[in-house]
Amino acid sequence: MQAVAMTRGVSKAGGATDQCRDNLRAAWPLLREAGRSAAGLRLLGGAAKACAPLGGEGALPTWAQSPYFYLAEGNYPFPSTYITFSVSTGRPSPLPAWPMRMPQRPRTPDEQTKSQAGLLLTCLRAPPWTGVACAQGLNDDLGIRLSGSVEDVRYNLSLGDLRVEVDWGSATGNGDALTAAQINASGVLRLAAAVADAAGVWYNLTKDQPCYKIGGSSDGDGDGDGDGDGDGDGNGAAAAAAPQAGVEALSVSAAAARQLVEVEPVEVEPVEVEPVEVELMEAAGEAAAVSPKQRSSCPACPPCDDCPPCPVSYCDYEDEAPCSFSGELSRGFSWGGICCNDALSQVDIRGVGRDIFWPPQVPNRSYSVESIVGPRHLTPGGCAAHGGLRGGPLVSDRWSSWMQASAVSKLVNSLTLSK
């Protein structure tokens, strides 16, 4: 899962440190709890160099967690515009080499000693493009204490006088009862400065921003720019990035849509290395309203032993009009088209005890792969006319049945040939 891979990138296994990983995991409940009072929000905003007052206790944690998908995607040993080109307009600024490691360089014992006394003051005075120096706090033992089970997302955190008890998506503590002096003395402002500078590796690529537009929760993403994408730029550009999970349902022709909704979906069993019965394939075709003409008119599936029909075999056979698309494609349009065309489903779930994120993306511990991914059968709604592209499938397979079967088939064939 993506969140597990992101977590590895900020750990010792990924070239950073486990201390950094543990500090990030504990940061989100602690920062939320510290922001439950007006004094706490004011102090957190100052520590994080916010341009304007924070809009709520969730503003800073939401904003600071948002860039890690992009940082992980561009986590190369050299500067790269691979991600920034896709999600921005104009001339992109490159991510630095190893952006996931950048804020967590191991410190010498002398640096560690000096940081205990002077880090917060240095971070509060420095402009946000000093990134590395201030964010080294993530690599320090900040005095955070944790007891309980991280894996079960049921644990207690303390930092100075600040206390918070986490139980899945709920957190209770004493943040609203602490004085400004207690918040200052707790060390949570050092933590706020460190996570803000780590996030600044993404938010301040141009290294010329005097402060961070963290904002509040009024636009639903914590960045305060009103575009809902969490990047703070006001133009919604991050929406063009690689999808977090699954295949998006887009429009199909009216006649095909009527046929799709008039039939009941037929379950397609999980892919196994066994022959798929003809009856099952025909039933799946009927569920997706695939006619003989559609089967003869749509692209042929790539060779694959004992595989179910590939997604493009369910194309919109009625769409015979000349291609006359004149719209403007986003820089990252091809990624969504590829995922949809091949039914490539990227399953992601965060905050469930295996990563650095919190709160969990599901309401309780009673979740399953199916409750996250969706039904285990072909469903109406594919990628017809996705981004102006035509010829895509009319159905979605969120379990990527054909892709899994194709991969298994190739593996079995390679093993057979190697004998």
Contact at 8 Å (CB) between 332 and 242? yes
Output the pLDDT for position 385.
58
* Tokens matching residue 203: 């938010």
| Whether residues 121 and 198 fall in one domain | yes
Residue 161 has pLDDT above 90, yes or no: yes
Q: Are residues 291 and 319 in the same domain?
A: yes
Is the pLDDT at 380 greater than 90? The verdict is no
pLDDT at 287 exceeding the cut of 70 = no
Domain boundary pick from 186, 217, 240:
240
Q: What is residue 42's predicted lDDT score, i.e. its pLDDT?
A: 97
245 in any annotated domain = no
Residue 174 belongs to some domain of the structure: yes
Query: Is residue 249 one of the residues assigned to a domain?
Result: no
Is position 248 within any domain? no
Write out the residue range of the structural domain in which residue 134 sits.
Answer: 2-240
Span of 54-63, 211-220, 317-326 with lowest mean pLDDT: 211-220
The rounded distance, in Å, linking the Cα atoms of 226 and 325 is 30
- Same domain for 140 and 184: yes
3-state DSSP of the chain: CHHHHHHHHCCHHHCCCHHHHHHHHHHHHHHHHHCCCHHHHHHHHHHCCECCCCCCCCHHHHHHHCCHHHHHHCCCCCCECHHHHHHCCCCCCCECCCCCCHHHCCCCHHHHHHHHHHHHHHHHHCCHHHHHHHHHHHHCCCCCEEEEECCCCEEEEEECCEEEEEECCEEEECHHHCCHHHHHHHCHHHHHHHHHHHHHHHHCCCCCCCCECCCCCCCCCCCCCCCCCCCCCCCCHHHHCCCCCCCCCCCCCHHHHHHHHCCCCCECCCCCCCCCCHHHHHHHHHHCCCCHHHHHHCCCCCCCCCCCCCHHHHECCCCCCCCCCCCCCCCCHHHHHHHHHCCCCCCCCCCCCCCCCCCCCCCCCCCCHHHHHCCCECEECCCCCHHHCCCCECEECCCCHHHHHHHHHHHHHHHHHHC
Before 359, cis peptide (omega within 30)? yes
Which pLDDT score, from 0 to 100, does residue 110 have?
Answer: 55
Residue 168 neighbours by CB under 8 Å, 6+ apart: 153, 154, 359, 360, 364, 365
Q: Is residue 237 pLDDT above 80, yes or no?
A: no
Does position 397 have pLDDT exceeding 50, yes or no?
yes
If asked whether residues 13 and 100 sit together in one domain, one would say yes
Q: How far is CA 318 from the centre of its chain?
A: 36
* Residue-wise pLDDT tens digits, 3-28: 999 999 999 898 888 999 999 999 99
How far is C-alpha 378 from the chain's CA centre? 25
**Among the ranges given (37-41, 85-89, 136-140, 266-270), the one the predictor scored with the smallest mean pLDDT:** 266-270
Lowest mean per-residue pLDDT among 114-128, 306-320, 327-341: 114-128
| Residues 77, 154 within the same domain | yes
Residues 14 and 156 in one domain: yes
Is 246 domain-assigned? no
Number of domains in the chain: 2
pLDDT value at 355 more than 90: yes
- Of 96-100, 249-253, 289-293, 391-395, where does mean pLDDT reach its minimum? 249-253
Q: What is the pTM of this model?
A: 0.74
- Does residue 264 share a domain with residue 205? no
Q: What is the pLDDT of the chain when averaged over all its residues?
A: 75
- The confidence score (pLDDT) of residue 294 equals 60
**Within this chain, do residues 229 and 260 fall inside the same structural domain, yes or no?**
no
- Same domain for 264 and 157, yes or no, is no
Domain end marker among 240, 272, 303: 240
pLDDT at 216: 64
- Confirm whether 304 is domain-assigned: yes
Quote the radius of gyration of the chain (alpha carbons, Å).
25
In a domain, 97, yes or no: yes
Considering the domain architecture, whether residues 196 and 273 belong to the same structural domain is answered as no
At 126 the pLDDT is 41
pLDDT tens-digit map of 87-136: 888 889 999 988 888 654 444 455 444 544 444 444 444 444 333 333 55
Q: Indicate whether 12 and 122 sit together in one domain.
A: yes
Query: In this structure, are 93 and 178 located in the same domain?
Result: yes
Does some domain include residue 309? yes
Which of 211, 240, 269 is where one domain is finished?
A: 240
Structural contact between residues 106 and 139, judged by C-beta atoms closer than 8 angstroms: yes
